[in-house]
Structure 1
Amino acid sequence: MLDMLVVGGGYVGLAAAVAVKQAAPHLAIEVIEAAPAGVWEKDERASAIIAAASHMLDVLGTWEEIVADAQPINKMIVTDSRTSDPVRPVFLTFDGAVEEGKPFAHMVPNVSMVRALRRAAEKLGIPIRHGLSATSFNTGSTRCTVTLSDGSNIETKLLVACDGVRSKLRDMAGIRTVKWDYGQSGIVATVAHERDHEGVAEEHFLPSGPFAILPLKNNRSSLVWTERTAEADRLVASDDLVFEEELQRRFGHKLGEIRIEGGRRAFPLGLTLSRAFVAPRFALAGDAAHGIHPISGQGLNLGFKDVAALAETVVEADRLGLDIGALNVLERYQSWRRFDTFRMGVTTDVLNRLFSNDVTPIRIARDFGLGMVERLPKLKNFFIGEAAGTTGEGNPKLLAGQQI
């Protein structure tokens, strides 16, 4: 019988398995992943990794490899304008350091992150079984029996669902969600440009939604371009000339000529918050527990915060001789993460509704608010700390760079 079975072999699932196994090597842990082996190598996207998450990845022994391909975010610029505006006034700027020499975030290619986490899992002897999904599970007093898509069964003390925002395991567990659709899609693409971005990230609030330019290595940037769903579908389906012309209108000419690298995809945007994060012998983590708007770049980082809290909960319970799958043990993890997740979900929801419109009185009010923040250094520093995940008391040890 396993001690922990993780369903979902993405960043969060792998990090959860590695974090627990590293701190408690005697525990038997496996990962199952529905996608075939090697599919992650085709992921062209990049993610913002905040300082707290990089601390955890450093403790897990993966950050040195990841950071070799990472681009520090040295500065953040926020504007509020229309696409047709000839000038985009800057309302707010953030210096990118939470302390000397340490940026509040890095942009990391997803391929590099998964590769490093897979190597860490393999080094710890964690089996990763591809091409399998969980079709059902039954919970008993001492174990959970999981039926896999090949007809086999696995018994485990704790089942951790990291199977994405449309989690089937969450539905099987009977956990309800708060959920709605924004009618927007996020276009994700990578562009190369003539001039150096100097590590500056830009967030342009446009009437259709935020348009984020996030710096990558080698004069490239990752785009998260929010549009109404119908318009996003049209843009993704258009030829390169039309797409790049529309892109240049929003991107501007500050970095010179731009060119799309690789493919482009659109993802529907919505809010999904699980009403519970745990059930007997069952825990949700990552997008299975929460899906939020990318306006703050915090989606994956929320998942890494889940990992840090869940790993500490499980490892400390094991050291005390407690049953790691017992509901009273798992409720500590839920209490640790649920409020922070709901707070971030509400924040991103309000920000998206506030900035994804062209109503003049609202524009005046929000621009006044941005200007006030720009003029209050202590408030700016607070927001930087919040974005980096370094503020607040009682954070899990891994997020502070400490061993469990």
Structure 2
Amino acid sequence: MLDILVAGGGYVGLSVAVSIKKAAPHLNIMVVDAAPEDAWKRDGRASAIAAAASRLLDALGLWSEILPQAQPINRMVITDSKLADPVRPVFLTFDGKVADGQPFAHMVPNPAMIGPLLRAAGELGVDLRFATTVVSYRADQRCATATLSTGEVIEARLLVACDGAKSKLRDAAGIKTVHWDYGQSGIVTTVEHERPHEGVAEEHFLPAGPFAILPLPGNRSSLVWNERTADADALVNGDELVFEAELERRFGHKLGNLRVVGPRRAYPLGLTLARSFIAQRFVLAGDAAHGIHPISGQGLNLGFKDVAALAETIVDADRLGLDIGAENVLERYQTWRRFDTFRMGVTTDVLNRLFSNDITPIRLMRDFGLGLVDRMPSLKNFFINQASIASGADPKLLGGTMP
């Protein structure tokens, strides 16, 4: 019998396996993923990794391998304007350093994270199965019994579902969600520009949704461009010249000529929060537990917080000789993560509704609020620290130490 079966071999699933296996090498862990073995090499996207998440990766011995391919965010600039405005006034800026002098976040190409995680999992003895999914499972007091797409039947003391926002295992476990669609899609692509970005990230709040420019190594930037879903689909599937013209209207000219160098993709945006993070012999982590609006750039970092909390919960229980799949053990993980997740979900929902409109009184109120925050260094530091620094109540991995 396995100790842990992880369904989903993305950042969260692999990080769960590596974190637990590194702290408790005797536990038998398997990771199954629907994608082919080398699919991650073709992922052209990049992700914002907050300081706490980079400390987790450092504790796993991976950050030194990732860092040479990462771009520190040295400064964050926030504007609020209409698309036709000739000038975009800056209402809020954040210095990119946290208390210990490190950047509050890095932009990391996705393959630069997946590659080291896969290597570490293999070296630690995690059983990796690609092009394989859990098609069904049942649980009882003794174990979770999963049937794989290969026909193999696996018994495990705990099944960890990291199979994404549309998690089929979450549905199979009977866990309900709070969900609504924003009517927006996030266009993601990579651009190359003539002049250096100096590590500055920009977020322009426009009536259709935020337009974020996130620096990558070299003269390149990753874009997260929010539009109404119909408009986003038309832009992604339409003429390249139209796409580039609309992109230039939003990006501006201060970095010189632009060239799209990555694929154009649009992802529907909504809020999805699981009503429970656990069931019998079963736990949710990452997007399977929560899908939030990218307005704050915290989606993946919420997943890394799940990793830290789940790893510490499982390792502590194992050291005490407890059943790692027991409900009272998993309840600790749920208590640790559910309130923080709901708070972030509500925060991003309010921010999106506040900024994705062109109602004049609301614009005046939010611009006043942004300007007020910009003039209060202690308040700005609070917002940075919320996303970047682990507190004493947080799991040990977020502070850079193994559980």
Aligning the two structures, in what range does the TM-score lie when normalised by the shorter sequence?
over 0.9
Name the aligned partner's letter for residue 175 of structure 2.
I
Can you list the C-alpha shifts for 1:47-104, whole angstroms capped at 9, x where unaligned?
A: 0000000000001111111111000000000000011111000000000000353000
For 1:172-191, what aligned pairs fall within 5 Å after superposition? 172-191=172-191
Aligned length: 403
- Structure 2's unaligned 5+ residue stretches are none
List alignment gaps of at least 5 residues for structure 1.
Answer: none
For residue 83 of structure 1, what is the amino acid of its counterpart?
Answer: L
Secondary structure of the corresponding residue to residue 402 of structure 1: coil
Give the alignment's TM-score, normalised by structure 2.
0.99
Q: What residue identity is the alignment partner of 1:291?
A: G
2:112 maps to amino acid: S
Amino acid in the other structure paired with 2:115: R
| Residue in 2 that maps onto 1:315 | 315
Q: Aligned partners of 1:32 and 1:384: how far apart in 2?
A: 35
Q: Which runs of 4+ in 1 moved over 4 A?
A: none
Matches within 5 A, 1:91-170: 91-170=91-170
How far has the Cα of 1:258 moved from its partner? Answer: 0.5
The amino acid that maps onto 1:127 is: D
How far apart in 2 are the matches of 1:330 and 1:100?
33
Q: What are the residue-to-residue correspondences of 1:2-401 with 2, within 5 Å? A: 2-388=2-388, 390=389, 392-401=391-400
Residue pair 2:142, 2:157 contacting (<8 A) in 1 also? yes
SS of residue in 2 equivalent to 1:339: helix
Normalising by structure 1, report the TM-score.
Answer: 0.99
CA contact (8 A) 2:52 2:390 kept: no
Question: Matched residues in 2 for 1:354 and 1:96: separation?
Answer: 25
Q: Output the amino acid matched with 1:128.
A: L
SS in 1 for 2:264: strand
| Rounded Cα–Cα distance in structure 2 between residues aligned with 1:392 and 1:185 | 34
For residues 103 and 77 of structure 2, the distance between their equivalents in structure 1, rounded to whole angstroms, comes to 15
Amino acid aligned to 1:206: L
1:136 aligned counterpart, secondary structure? strand
Report the Cα distance in structure 2 between the residues aligned to 1:60 and 1:401, rounded to whole angstroms: 9
SS, match of residue 347 in structure 1: helix
Is the contact made by 2:390 and 2:398 (CA closer than 8 Å) also made in structure 1? Answer: no
User: What is the distance in 2 between the residues matched to 1:300 and 1:342?
Assistant: 15
Deviation, structure 1 residue 277: 0.3
Q: Which amino acid aligns with 1:228?
A: R
Q: In structure 1, the residue corresponding to 2:384 is in which secondary structure?
A: helix
Deviation at 1:110, TM superposition (A): 0.3
Work out the CA distance in 2 between the residues paired with 1:354 and 1:221.
Answer: 26
Rounded Cα–Cα distance in structure 2 between residues aligned with 1:334 and 1:215: 34
- Alpha-carbon distance, 1:239 to partner: 2.2
> How well do the aligned residues superpose, as a CA RMSD in angstroms?
0.7
Q: Secondary structure at the match of 2:154?
A: strand
Higher mean C-alpha deviation, range 96-105 or range 75-84: 96-105
Q: In the superposition, relative to structure 1, how do residues 391 and 152 fare at CA in structure 2: closer, same or farther (>3 Å)?
A: closer
Name the SS for the 2:135 alignment partner.
Answer: strand
Indicate the SS of the match to 1:25: coil
* Aligned residue type for 1:399: L
SS at match of 2:211: strand
- Cα distance in structure 1, aligned partners of 2:192 and 2:99: 30
CA drift of 1:262 comes to 2.1
393-402 or 96-105: which moved more?
96-105
